[in-house]
Structure 1
Amino acid sequence: MVMHRQRAGSGSGSTPPPPMPRPVGEEIRVRGLVQGVGFRPTVWRLAHACGVVGDVCNDSDGVLIHAWGDAWTLQRFIEGLSAECPPLARIDAIERHQMNEAAHASDFRIVPGAAGAVQTGVTPDAVICADCAAEIANRAKRRYRYPFTNCTHCGPRLSIVQAIPYDRANTTMAAFVMCDACRAEYDDPADRRFHAQPVACPACGPRVWLESRNGARIEGDDPCRAASLLLRHGAIVALKGLGGFQLACDACDETAVARLRRLKRREHKPFALMARDLHALRRYCRPNEAECALLASTGGPIVTLRADGPECVAESVAPGIDTLGFMLPSTPLHRLLLESIDTALVVTSGNTSNEPPCIDNADALARLGRIADVFLMHDRDIARRVDDSVMRVVQGAACVMRRARGYAPAPLRLPAGFADTPAVLAMGGELKNTFCIARDAQAIVSHHLGDLEDALTYADYRRALAQYLRLFECEPQVVAFDLHPEYLSRKIGYDLARGMRVPVAEVQHHHAHLAACMAENGVQLDAPPMLGVALDGLGYGTDDTLWGGEFMLADYRGYQRLGRFKPVAMPGGMRTIDEPWRSAYAHLRAAFDWHDLARQYGGLDVLHFLKRRQHAALDAMIAQRVSSPRASSAGRLFDAVAATLGVCRERVFYEGQAAIELEALVDAQTLSNDGDVHAYPFEITSIAPDGLRMIEPRPMWQALLDDLQRGTPVPVVAARFHKGLAIAIVRMVECLADLLSGPVDARSVALSGGVFQNRVLLEQVATRLGAAGFRVLMHRQVPPNDGGLSLGQAVVAAAQQHDSVRAADVRGARRGGQLR
């Protein structure tokens, strides 16, 4: 009533306008993956829509915005930054600082940035977007059928960038001068190609051509159409992809696939496949919703799918396994190549077995000339080799098996407590190598580099390491590496640390596996120790033995080994890895007396095979520990079971082959419908000399051999083994959790190591642990295999450095107190 009387009593008869809000200025810092992804034009458009004046620029810390407006308008503007974030961008932080100066502009502009210490991220390469795909298919567009069409929402990034900031002059596109039409798009903030550094068109950009193996150009109007026709007629084509050369052939042509396998010297390892679209892919696989989303994502990885479609590819594509690795076209070049192909293509790395793929035209002709019939070349240089990423869906969510194109080097945010992380360089492992730069609460894990045992891969590793340190302007304060004295990554790390005069951190292999899993799952630096299960082939232990089936209590600072698989000899040393029958012999001899074994199971095929081997010599090697190190390796147990069942008995041709083929044999009905009573039993003992709990496989071997003697089908045996091992792992975790006391997290379990690439085992273990009330941590963003080691090494070293600094501060404070 009082308010009503006041209004009614005003002489003017109308309410006076409220005073204009006082404009305020803010400096807004946006950190994350915000360069080269269309972030500045998004800011520009949003500012104009909100009525904000000021400017935006890229700099070495990310994106810097100066903005003036009233408080409400600025708040709406800030909220819009997150809501309208471009598809390839990722905002890690928005920092706001008030400015006292008056507005210096009457509009909002995009301005040049300034150089400085690099803190921002390099975005990964991204698959062709829908808009660019529509352009290359539209005859009316000037980029019709242009193989290098891109915009700020797609195209090359890591594979072309040579320095920060990410500007055209710092990429391999610097050699191509933009035409007037491309320049107009590049300069227009309203265009999706605004400051798209690789922007080009047929008038000014890179060109593609066909070339024979002797280097002669093959004339024609459309090299992609010509290459496509050759593929449909059985040819092997080497094509220059985004991050390296690839070898392609018709996946349904057994003659072509077998020829490629022979010439590439890749005897059994499965080939990757590419289909034009999901409709074509469904001829061979039936991907679920999560798998379809992954295939169509901006990362565009190879996705491991069950080969359960109505049609089959050539038998030589993926011998011995029931899955296929499929991807969709990731670039305009691939899209044009598959335009008229409604089957599938093999698209594998352009190399011979174990070597890194070629990235240079002349090198490709020299190294691939004996393999490829023709070469689909272009003249845009590749700054660094980037392989295709590999993923699979486990329990409805994506899991990385190889992190490369589309994902690396996007920084991983480290958990709480790592904000003051010093610059750490972690060197990774020997196989499936990556390295990692960790600082300022983020970890930059390199793209997949491969096995350092190969001389060319080793050289590529050293080159990539130098590139990353230069690209991110990193001066490490500590260098971390594995305990194994013969790892090449360790030796390089020692040399680097000595040259830079910085300390080193030695990180035990399985501790690194678990630390990587904890870090990507957001476990805080000061969280209490938790249980971890690390299963792999081999890792160097602190007792100078080989580990590989480990149960630990761990945090970032350290670990306690609580349990393990039974250590079994590896007769012949590292030869055991390549010849699974050696593991089978060692495991059977560890479980049985040879004469009892021969008497009871002498009719089995595996016993006939082993009798033909020099088992007396093998027994002597094991007894005298000559070239027969003992290893608590889960990987060797899988090898032993596979060889016993006749899978890869004599030798394997790629890492993990025996276990992969054993998993492929698992009978789904037995796994799902058979009760646990039929699963093969393992014993958990506590009589080990070192006092550790131990998984003893002898009862499993007894049940398995009995089943074989009864003629039980091998797929049923494989299922009962997987289920029984999962039950044993869960029982061991429950047993150890019951023994723990004090400030520990006994109800959380981290699962890591290459053996957990096995989907059957991982899902069985994770499901059973969850049902038992445990919180299960598994890998999603980095591989469970040795590709994730570098992240684990980095966070362990960072935690140790954090404690060293804190201890030094405490000592300094005490000394200061004494001085006072």
Structure 2
Amino acid sequence: MTDVLPSAVHVTLTGRVQGLGVRPAIARWARQLSLMGWVSNTCRGVEIVVGGTSDEVEQFIRELPQRLPRAAIVESQECAPIEPPMCKTFAIRSESVSGALKVRVPPDLAACEDCLRETRSATDRRSRYPFASCTACGPRYSIIEKMPYERAHTTMRNFTLCPICQREFNSPADRRYHAETTACPACGPHWWCCDNTDRTIATGRDAIQAAAATILRGEIVALQGLGGYQLIVDATSETAVNRLRTRKQRNGKPFAVMVASVEQALRLARCDQTERQALASPAGPIVILDQQQGNELAHGVSPGLDTLGLMLPTSPLHDLLLIACGRPLVVTSGNREGDPLAFEHRGAHIRLAAIADLWLEHNRPIRRPVDDSVVRVIAGRVAVLRSARGFAPLPLEVHSPKPLLAIGGHHKAAIAISNGAQGVLGPHVGDLDSAAERERWETHVADLQNLFGSSPVALTGDLHPDYYSKRWAATQPLPCMQVQHHHAHVVAGMVEHRWLDRAVLGVAFDGTGLGDDGTIWGGEFLLATSAEFKRVAHVLPFDLPGGERAVREPWRVAVSLAQRAVGSERASKLAFQAGSPQVLLPLIGNPRFSPVTTSAGRLFDGIAALLLGVEVAQFEGQGPMVLEAVCDRTAAGCYPMPLQGTRPCVLDWRPAVVQILGDLQAAVAPGVIAMRFHRGLAKAVLAVARRYPQSPVVLGGGCFQNRILVELLVEMFAQTGQLIGLPGLIPVNDGGLAAGQLAIASSQLENQYSR
């Protein structure tokens, strides 16, 4: 018998439930059951009041998870009985509340196929309109002024909907039902192109044609994208690519390429199913792929590498420009190297005046800048190398007893916060070397705390006294909890795999991090919990002749490695164009001029200089990237790196260097030598792990962006059955440091309160 007694409940959904069409989906389901009540976005999440018969309300609750958009992630669902609501229909309401934000802030999403189909159509009313969006796509994080997510709380608030858009917005049957960013040519943002004097050249559809003509002439267009300006050139033109490199002052570092479709991507690079899914995902990241040999791209796009960063159109504006150009385009961040991403009209025209030839602009304000994300599929798993548009702010499974701010490191800066209700890792900001980058970072720190309603009681950051973030922390009226660099890397991996309640063996391989003994670490094995660690092994120390110069000039590292492995006499006979080993050798062993390091990243640098002549690094990580690129994956054998001693034991790379020098003299192919080095290092990691068979292994640090190294480890660990935690959504490089810092500080605070 049907239960017709009146019933009502209050439901709260938390998680990723705003900016995805969750409220429209709930309203459709409630109306289908003839229920009354309302649904609203709040700072707690999505809140529902629903009333009807007991059977109807029970069915509503039971089937609700299946009725939500696929992209929604419900982390909790709380239900409580209430008095029946005093209304006759079910409505979507708007609310404005304050306090600590519990719900996720929605990230920007790349254009969906439905919207692109409309803008490509000659007959649709949004034909060739660059700002079409719906509940499944479009800007979110970059235009939100405050939460909860409502049009009135975004920079779209000044674009009043026309009658047709308003009808779509109000219609439960329409896919733009309560799509907060919806617009059309009659009521939405406008676009135009201008020159360096800000003189308008063309408007509307003619502006896209003018921009395409500029690109096809080999010139540079600055396009105002979702989260900031981008610099665009013809990816098939060597002249255009070189011009962009010169003006942007980007020497050697690869450029990303945007293509119109997955099919076009397959002509340029090899993609497996996971990589195709990453390319076409709503996040719309740059995906690092293996290049197809002999493709149409200019050599200068990705010089010296076998990989290529590809992305699909992130907005209809990009899609229309690609169609007009009819070829792949280099699409790179709108800044000069060392400057922050330009995102405001006036500032962009000042910062990019010497770079761009034409500007493609629009009048939808960007509230906060956000760059393109970068991912790579490693061992069948998507690893985020730069967390930005589409991923950030990234929710963290970190629960702090008090609000905290984790300030990250110095390079690839990103912060993390806990507001007492949730923890998040903010988007990539950049390196903190320039005054402009530091100013942007400080603005970002204040903005993210304001957006999430966070008032921290303490800071947490790196030990290194020269990091700008650390110096900034010293000026704040809050205590700062110091966290060792490599412990933070390891614990970030523990957060990734939800292992904060376990003890792990962390393998932290990177370029530089200050150890708790005051020396430069970077090849570390740590028995770690979320609160503390013990260093149980490390790479054999070696000198960095000239200190920081050795980071920029890896030939110096090569001389140091050779001197330790085969002695000064043989090392002095090495030939480098960048300098003389004879001049350098007297510096080795002198702590004033040659600090000691255990860095695995510098070890890669030195081997790349010996093997491939990467004597001076044009950009961070160039040597290791080129070394990985030349690997002959069919080559057998490995170079020995035995373990010496205990507490801590030392990974001795000297026998490997001896054999590498011998193989170079014997003219063994570079690809074979590179592969043997990678395999030897992986075997050494496995040898350390075997000493701690009960501990899961966590990989941390920038060296584990190397797919060959990680996949060798996966293959080897599969034979032992020991758990291994691979890179994932939290960047394994310094972009993920703040996540580890936040978790460590939270754990230490919790331990203090529990005493």
TM-score normalized by the length of structure 1 = 0.89
1:337 aligns with 2:304: no
Task: Say which of 422, 446, 464 aligns to 1:466.
Answer: 446
Read off the aligned partner of 1:462 and give its amino acid letter.
E
Q: Which ranges in structure 2 are unaligned for 5 or more consecutive residues?
A: none
Output the CA distance in 2 between the equivalents of 1:624 and 1:461.
Answer: 37
**1:83 deviation in Å?**
1.2
SS at match of 2:589: helix
1:559 aligns with 2:518: no
Q: Matches of residues 275-286 of structure 1 in structure 2 within 5 Å?
A: 275-286=259-270
Deviations 1:377-398 (A, max 9, x none): 1111111111100001111121
Higher alpha-carbon deviation: 318-327 or 32-41: 32-41
Output the CA distance in 2 between the equivalents of 1:56 and 1:367.
Answer: 45
> Which aligned runs of 4 or more in structure 1 are off by greater than 6 angstroms?
none
Output the CA distance in 2 between the equivalents of 1:656 and 1:291.
Answer: 23
1:404 aligns with 2:370: no
| 1:321/1:71 CA distance change after superposition, 3 Å | same
Task: Say which of 128, 137, 152 aligns to 1:169.
Answer: 152
Task: Say which of 714, 739, 750 aligns to 1:766.
Answer: 714
* Corresponding residue for residue 40 of structure 2: 57
1:705 aligns with 2:689: no
Output the CA distance in 2 between the equivalents of 1:787 and 1:405.
Answer: 14
Task: Say which of 723, 727, 730 aligns to 1:782.
Answer: 730
Task: Say which of 408, 422, 431 aligns to 1:428.
Answer: 408
Provide the identity percentage. 39
* Corresponding residue for residue 579 of structure 1: 553
Deviations 1:481-502 (A, max 9, x none): 0011111111222333x2xxx4
* Corresponding residue for residue 115 of structure 1: 97
Deviations 1:365-411 (A, max 9, x none): 22222222211111111111111000011111211000000111142
Output the CA distance in 2 between the equivalents of 1:784 and 1:611.
Answer: 32
Output the CA distance in 2 between the equivalents of 1:667 and 1:641.
Answer: 16
Asked if the contact 2:486–2:508 (Cα under 8 Å) also holds between the matched residues in 1, the reply is yes
| 1:39/1:611 CA distance change after superposition, 3 Å | closer
* Corresponding residue for residue 598 of structure 2: 632
Higher alpha-carbon deviation: 183-192 or 714-723: 183-192
**1:304 deviation in Å?**
0.3
**1:21 deviation in Å?**
4.1
**1:103 deviation in Å?**
4.4
Asked if the contact 1:176–1:204 (Cα under 8 Å) also holds between the matched residues in 2, the reply is yes
* Corresponding residue for residue 817 of structure 1: none
1:227 aligns with 2:211: yes
Asked if the contact 1:530–1:554 (Cα under 8 Å) also holds between the matched residues in 2, the reply is yes
* Corresponding residue for residue 566 of structure 2: 592
Task: Say which of 493, 510, 527 aligns to 1:536.
Answer: 510
* Corresponding residue for residue 272 of structure 1: 256
Higher alpha-carbon deviation: 448-457 or 174-183: 174-183
* Corresponding residue for residue 455 of structure 2: 475
* Corresponding residue for residue 491 of structure 2: 515
Deviations 1:723-743 (A, max 9, x none): 1111111112213x16xxxxx
**1:19 deviation in Å?**
6.5
Output the CA distance in 2 between the equivalents of 1:571 and 1:467.
Answer: 41
Output the CA distance in 2 between the equivalents of 1:230 and 1:322.
Answer: 30
Task: Say which of 661, 673, 698 aligns to 1:717.
Answer: 673
Task: Say which of 644, 653, 656 aligns to 1:685.
Answer: 644
* Corresponding residue for residue 506 of structure 1: 482
Output the CA distance in 1 between the equivalents of 2:16 and 2:539.
Answer: 43
Output the CA distance in 1 between the equivalents of 2:315 and 2:538.
Answer: 46
| 1:704/1:44 CA distance change after superposition, 3 Å | same
Q: Matches of residues 258-407 of structure 1 in structure 2 within 5 Å?
A: 258-308=242-292, 311-407=295-391
Deviations 1:154-207 (A, max 9, x none): 100111111122222322222322222222223334332233222221112211
Task: Say which of 751, 757, 764 aligns to 2:705.
Answer: 757
Output the CA distance in 2 between the equivalents of 1:310 and 1:22.
Answer: 72
| 1:227/1:87 CA distance change after superposition, 3 Å | farther
Asked if the contact 1:29–1:64 (Cα under 8 Å) also holds between the matched residues in 2, the reply is yes
* Corresponding residue for residue 609 of structure 1: 576
Output the CA distance in 1 between the equivalents of 2:659 and 2:111.
Answer: 53
SS at match of 1:339: helix
| 1:765/1:442 CA distance change after superposition, 3 Å | farther
Output the CA distance in 2 between the equivalents of 1:309 and 1:124.
Answer: 35
Read off the aligned partner of 2:644 and give its amino acid letter.
T
Asked if the contact 1:647–1:661 (Cα under 8 Å) also holds between the matched residues in 2, the reply is no
Output the CA distance in 2 between the equivalents of 1:759 and 1:454.
Answer: 31
SS at match of 2:695: strand
SS at match of 2:131: coil
Higher alpha-carbon deviation: 48-57 or 547-556: 48-57
SS at match of 1:79: helix
SS at match of 2:598: strand
**1:71 deviation in Å?**
4.3
SS at match of 2:588: helix
Asked if the contact 2:568–2:585 (Cα under 8 Å) also holds between the matched residues in 1, the reply is no
Asked if the contact 1:647–1:662 (Cα under 8 Å) also holds between the matched residues in 2, the reply is no
| 1:202/1:359 CA distance change after superposition, 3 Å | same
Output the CA distance in 2 between the equivalents of 1:50 and 1:802.
Answer: 46
1:669 aligns with 2:634: yes
Deviations 1:657-708 (A, max 9, x none): 11101111101221xxx2xxx2111121016xxx410001111011111111
* Corresponding residue for residue 165 of structure 2: 182
Task: Say which of 649, 652, 657 aligns to 1:696.
Answer: 652
Read off the aligned partner of 1:591 and give its amino acid letter.
A
Read off the aligned partner of 2:480 and give its amino acid letter.
V
**1:454 deviation in Å?**
1.9
Asked if the contact 1:37–1:88 (Cα under 8 Å) also holds between the matched residues in 2, the reply is yes
1:457 aligns with 2:437: yes
SS at match of 1:668: coil
Higher alpha-carbon deviation: 102-111 or 786-795: 102-111
Deviations 1:437-477 (A, max 9, x none): 12457421111001011221111111111111111110112
**1:719 deviation in Å?**
0.8
* Corresponding residue for residue 145 of structure 1: 128
Q: Which ranges in structure 1 are unaligned for 5 or more consecutive residues?
A: 1-17, 739-745, 808-820
Read off the aligned partner of 1:625 and give its amino acid letter.
P
Read off the aligned partner of 1:548 and give its amino acid letter.
G
Asked if the contact 1:749–1:776 (Cα under 8 Å) also holds between the matched residues in 2, the reply is yes
**1:646 deviation in Å?**
3.1
Deviations 1:271-309 (A, max 9, x none): 010001112222211211111111000001000000125
SS at match of 2:269: coil
| 1:613/1:524 CA distance change after superposition, 3 Å | closer
| 1:251/1:585 CA distance change after superposition, 3 Å | same
RMSD over aligned CA atoms reads 1.8
Asked if the contact 1:245–1:350 (Cα under 8 Å) also holds between the matched residues in 2, the reply is yes
| 1:71/1:19 CA distance change after superposition, 3 Å | closer
Asked if the contact 1:33–1:410 (Cα under 8 Å) also holds between the matched residues in 2, the reply is no
SS at match of 1:730: helix
Read off the aligned partner of 1:715 and give its amino acid letter.
G
Read off the aligned partner of 2:730 and give its amino acid letter.
V
TM-score normalized by the length of structure 2 = 0.97
Asked if the contact 2:131–2:317 (Cα under 8 Å) also holds between the matched residues in 1, the reply is yes
Larger Rg: 1
Output the CA distance in 2 between the equivalents of 1:19 and 1:90.
Answer: 32
**1:122 deviation in Å?**
1.1
Higher alpha-carbon deviation: 449-458 or 77-86: 77-86
1:47 aligns with 2:55: no
